[in-house]
Amino acid sequence: MYDTRSFDCVAQTRHSINELELLGADGSVRQVHRSEMSLRYIYKHEMTLLFVRRQEQ
């Protein structure tokens, strides 16, 4: 299994690429399953501000 990640601190995102290699009895790669995911994260102070703004509405 291989996992490659990249981070963008300004955009607050993390991009992850995962590859799972399934091997045959002889050790050769028979199948490769690949998945990608992008995730935006937030900081505690940003979430607090969002909750406060929501309560004002």
Domain ranges of the chain: 2-56
- Token pair listed for 21: 């290699």
- Reported as a single tens digit per residue, the pLDDT across 20-51 is 999 999 999 999 999 999 999 999 999 999 99
Q: What is the pTM of this model?
A: 0.62
Cβ atoms of 12 and 42 within 8 Å: the answer is yes
* pLDDT surpassing 90 at residue 56: no
State the pLDDT at residue 11.
94
